[in-house]
Amino acid sequence: MNAFKDAGHLFRLAAVFVIGILAFLGIRAVLVPKSFGQYGHYRGDALAEVAARPVSFAGHQACEDCHTDVLEKKKSGRHAHVNCEACHGALAKHANDPGSVQPAKLDTAVLCVRCHEANIAKPKGFPQVASADHSNGMPCDTCHQPHSPAIDGGGTAKETTKETAKQ
Amino acid sequence: MSVTRRHILLLLPAAAVAWKHVLAGTPEVSPNYKLSEHWWSMLIDLPKCIGCGNCVRACQTENDVPDGYFRTWVERYHVTDYDIENPHVDSPDGAKEGFPPSKEKGGKNFFVPKMCNHCADSPCTQVCPVGATFIAPDGVVLVDKKYCLGCRYCVQACPYGCRFINPQTMTAEKCTLCYHRITKGLTTACCEACPTGARQLADLKNPNDPIHEFLKTHNVQVLKPYMATHAKLFYNDLDGSVR
């Protein structure tokens, strides 16, 4: 048994390795978050954390639940497909507490031209005006009602879809 | 009793069912939201984009994006006659305030909204050394703010330039596809604010989503298909000059 007479060294070395591996596993168990690897090589809890952010835009469904009169007006006009918050801005606060949070009054001189100011890069079928010489400085809502902007009261939803299809 | 081959064969289906449960994962993001039932994407209908910048403003409001940084932005392309290799592109302040009148005359002009492509094989998640960015099981590419070191590998890896380091938190930031909204059944802020319907959130796993009919009947393209990122931001009627 000469070959094994110094086997004690090997046992000590093995012990060092075992302790090292145990320490690694122990530290790893403490440091790696519980949800890491739940769905993949990342923290599963991160999904819920990202999703926990509060909402700023209430969504048109929330608006339409109360403002049925506006919905009715919009339905037959050229702006039927424009969501409320596209012009009125983010109003989740108002939707959650309609009593105390009131939306700000809008300025049509600013809002309308955002979309309808003429620009060479806009789709050809989109209604555009050079605001400087279109209205003689009058605010847009003197003639156009934003919820149903056609002046003669015409401009059915059907026409709108035709227009969109053409583009 | 000894275990025979017959016993093992009987156990296999049970093991398969159990493994399926392990793969599915137990906790979910929101009580009525099933991660495994969605595969999110977005459709950008370019002929409808009017460059108003509503999406950019909505995104900044919804997600507190710092000034001068963008999770989505709109570019204006100007292509002179045949020179489609060299389009003139501008995007003043990401089109947050829309576009001034074009300086260029004639040629071909159009707007292109840009944002994270939520690639199914995203280069940005592959380079993250710590597992701080990932493709969620519902197809959305997200960043784990608590885990991100701010090393910027992902910012360089994104072929679409859609990531930045948030100057306040010094962590990587990008479009979350309004994850806090879509998990509650709402659409994204940019889609909600788009007045022409040029942006539409789409769920590829939902067989009733209009996206399927649209993809069948239109000339749809993704950006940089040669990068093999399997981008899920589908552009209708995309011009060849768009980079």
Q: Are residues A29 and A91 in the same domain?
A: no
Q: Which of these ranges, A56-65, B12-21, B57-66, has the smallest mean pLDDT?
A: B12-21
Q: Structure tokens of B219?
A: 């000339």
Residue A97 at interface with chain B, using a CB cutoff of 8 Å: no
Q: Is the pLDDT of residue B21 over 90?
A: no
pLDDT band at B29 (very low <50, low <70, confident <90, very high): low
Span B67-80, pLDDT tens digits: 999 999 999 999 99
pLDDT band at B230 (very low <50, low <70, confident <90, very high): very high
In the prediction, which pLDDT does B18 show?
67
* 3 state DSSP class of B200: strand
- A117 vs B contacts (CB less than 8 Å): 98
Q: Give the percent of chain B with pLDDT over 90.
A: 84
Q: Are residues A80 and A114 in the same domain?
A: yes
pLDDT band at B20 (very low <50, low <70, confident <90, very high): low
pTM of the model: 0.84
Span B109-157, pLDDT tens digits: 999 999 999 999 999 999 999 999 999 999 999 999 999 999 999 999 9
Q: Are residues A107 and A47 in the same domain?
A: no
Residue B201 at interface with chain A, using a CB cutoff of 8 Å: no
* Higher per-residue confidence, B28 vs B120: B120
What residue numbers bound the domain in which A119 lies?
Answer: 60-158
Q: Is the pLDDT of residue B224 over 60?
A: yes
Residue A165 lies in a domain: no
CB atoms within 10 A of CB B119: 26
Chain B window 205-224: which residues touch A at a Cβ cutoff of 8 Å?
none
Give me the domains of chain B, ranges plus CATH numbers.
Answer: 35-120+174-236 (3.30.70.20), 123-173 (3.30.70.20)
Of residues B172, B136, B4, B66, the one with CA closest to residue A40: B136
Q: Are residues A32 and A97 in the same domain?
A: no
Q: Are residues A75 and A152 in the same domain?
A: yes
Residue A85 at interface with chain B, using a CB cutoff of 8 Å: yes
Q: Structure tokens of A89?
A: 């801005």
Span B149-189, pLDDT tens digits: 999 999 999 999 999 999 999 999 999 999 999 999 999 99
Residue A162 at interface with chain B, using a CB cutoff of 8 Å: no
- ipTM score here? 0.82
Strand partners, B79: B108
pLDDT, mean over chain B: 92
Boundary (domain end) residue, out of A51, A69, A89: A51
Give chain A's domain count. 2
Span A132-157, pLDDT tens digits: 889 888 889 889 999 999 886 444 43
Beta pairing, strands B40-45 & B233-236: parallel
In the prediction, which pLDDT does A161 show?
39
Q: Are residues A85 and A116 in the same domain?
A: yes
In the prediction, which pLDDT does A131 show?
87
Beta pairing, strands B233-236 & B88-90: unpaired
Q: Is the pLDDT of residue B236 over 70?
A: yes
* Higher per-residue confidence, B17 vs A163: B17
What's the gap in Å between the CA of B14 and the closest CA on chain A? 22
Per the CB < 8 A criterion, the answer to whether B76 and B91 are in contact is: yes
With a cut of 50, list the residues of chain A below it in pLDDT.
153-167
- A126 vs B contacts (CB less than 8 Å): 50, 196
Q: Is the pLDDT of residue B227 over 80?
A: yes
